Amino acid sequence: MPAIVLAQSIKFMYDSTGEKSQVRLSLRYTSDYFYMGRSDSAIAPYLSPAITYYHKSGFFFHSSLSYLTAKGEGRIDMMMLTGGYDYYRNDLTMGVSLSQFSFSNESYNVFAEMSTYLNGYAGYDFRWLNMYVDASLGFSGSTDVFLGAELNRTFYLLNYKLLITPSVYINAGSQEYYSQYYTNRSTQTGAGKGKGKPQQPTPTQNSQTLASTKFQLLDYEAGLNLTYKIQKIRLFGIGTWTFPVNPASIVTDTGEYEEELTNGFFWSTGVRVIF
pLDDT in tens, 176-208: 998 888 888 877 665 555 554 444 444 444 556
Residue 103 has pLDDT above 80, yes or no: yes
Please check the confidence at residue 74 and state whether its pLDDT lies above 60: yes
State residue 260's pLDDT score.
86
Q: Is the dihedral of CA 183, 189, 192, 197 positive or negative?
A: positive
- Burial string for 177-199 (b: 16+ CB within 10 Å, else e) reads bbbbbbbbbbbbbbebbebeeee
Q: Identify whether the C-beta of residue 175 lies closer than 8 Å to the C-beta of residue 209.
A: yes
As a whole number, mean pLDDT of residues 236-242 equals 95
The pLDDT of residue 165 is: 92
Q: What is the pLDDT of residue 18?
A: 57
The rounded percent of the chain whose pLDDT value lies above 90 is 64
> Which one, of 114, 97, 105, lies nearest residue 173 by Cα?
114
pLDDT at residue 39 is higher than 70? yes
pLDDT for the residue numbered 15:
56
DSSP one-letter code for 38: B
The mean of the pLDDT values for the chain is: 85
pLDDT for the residue 41: 86
| For residues 112-125, average pLDDT | 93
Average pLDDT over residues 78-102: 92
Rounded alpha-carbon distances, angstroms, from residue 170 to 21, 119, 190, 225: 33, 16, 29, 17
Class of domain 21-274: mainly beta
Percentage above 70 pLDDT, the chain: 83
Give the pLDDT score at 209: 63
* pLDDT for position 249: 80
pLDDT band at 84 (very low <50, low <70, confident <90, very high): very high
Q: 69 pLDDT exceeds 90?
A: yes
Residues with Cβ within 8 Å of residue 184, at least 6 apart in sequence:
113, 190, 191
Higher confidence at residue 225 or residue 198?
225
pLDDT at res. 197: 43
Which pLDDT band holds residue 20 (cuts at 50, 70, 90)?
A: confident
